[in-house]
A = this chain, B = another copy of it.
């Protein structure tokens, strides 16, 4: 899922996303949209789909992650979390029920429960306290959600979020306790917070086997291109990540032949496409030399062309995975990939890839 934090995927129009990239679901950030332009305004203007003119599906997070990563003074209690806006310092409060209401005002197709996403590393004691709270909040969110659903004419899904930091037994316990909610899908949160990659995978492995096979499983805030098939191999259906879009704007491009850091002098006079194997608008029309020029000159068009390509790369990978599964060839696809990849070397991402644009 491309990340569209403030009701826009940075650098692209909705037509670019829908017609060109054929993205069908994107993510919006509740924390940001709650603060600006505000959920009441969005409701009044017909919901987030109409507000941003997006014909596809929308998933919104609960805002919890951003409260912890972005806002000023914050205070967490059993009831919810009080925080200061990073925009103007105003004080607000999110509760499990209020974040459901905010997301219903957006008209999100998939809503997320308020959770606490602990930093990495935390003690086992804190991880348990936090996990217990996340589970209690999920219960409160679902009670409120089921009540609201009686009067809401649309069908909005609500996913609980599995936490438990990097402790497999807590992950397993959290998963099995959340199953009682009989949700339409389940998310695994608390990944990409700075931990080594093998640990993220281990947490997914601890959670997924418990989850019902007929409900989507969503790994939040992951990952690098060569990690996507690894998550799928572990039973994940959905992912979102700021890496393709944020890295694009910083000139870090993902291609079928590896990464291209476009500012490097070697691309100065390179007349070839960014990725000869890619069919995106950028690769069909522009050279590496032109992209480098736009990047060096700080031109807006760079962000747009680079974002377009990186998202295409991610969507192509997901498309290839889907195709290989349909053909019964996913195990071979994965083996081929692993033999070429650095993934198994246990490289640690330099910075958390979760979070917002």
Contacts and interface: CB of A to CB of B under 8 A. Distances in A.
A287 B285 CA distance: 31
A293 B36 contact: yes
A271 interface: yes
A305 interface: yes
A294 B290 CA distance: 28
A141 to B, nearest CB: 27
A167 to B, nearest CB: 38
Given A13-B304, A15-B281, A36 B287 contact: no
Contacts of A234: none
Interface string A1-44: 00000111011111100000000000000001000110001001
B289 A14 contact: no
Interface size class of chain A, counting residues whose CB lies under 8 Å from the partner chain: 35 or more
Contact of A301 (B12, B45, B271, B290): B12
B304 A300 contact: yes
A329 interface: no
Nearest to A282: B13
Interface in A36-85: 36-37, 41, 44-46, 51-53
Nearest to A287: B45
Given A8-B301, A299-B8, A304-B300, A53 B286 contact: yes
A147 to B, nearest CB: 29
B300 A303 contact: yes
B285 A14 contact: yes
A7 B287 CA distance: 13
Nearest to A289: B45
Given A281-B13, A293-B37, A303-B300, A271 B45 contact: yes
30 contacts: A6-B293, A7-B293, A7-B294, A8-B294, A10-B299, A10-B301, A11-B301, A12-B301, A13-B301, A13-B305, A14-B285, A15-B281, A36-B293, A36-B297, A37-B268, A37-B296, A41-B268, A41-B289, A44-B269, A45-B269, A45-B271, A45-B287, A45-B289, A45-B290, A51-B293, A53-B285, A53-B286, A53-B290, A300-B300, A300-B304
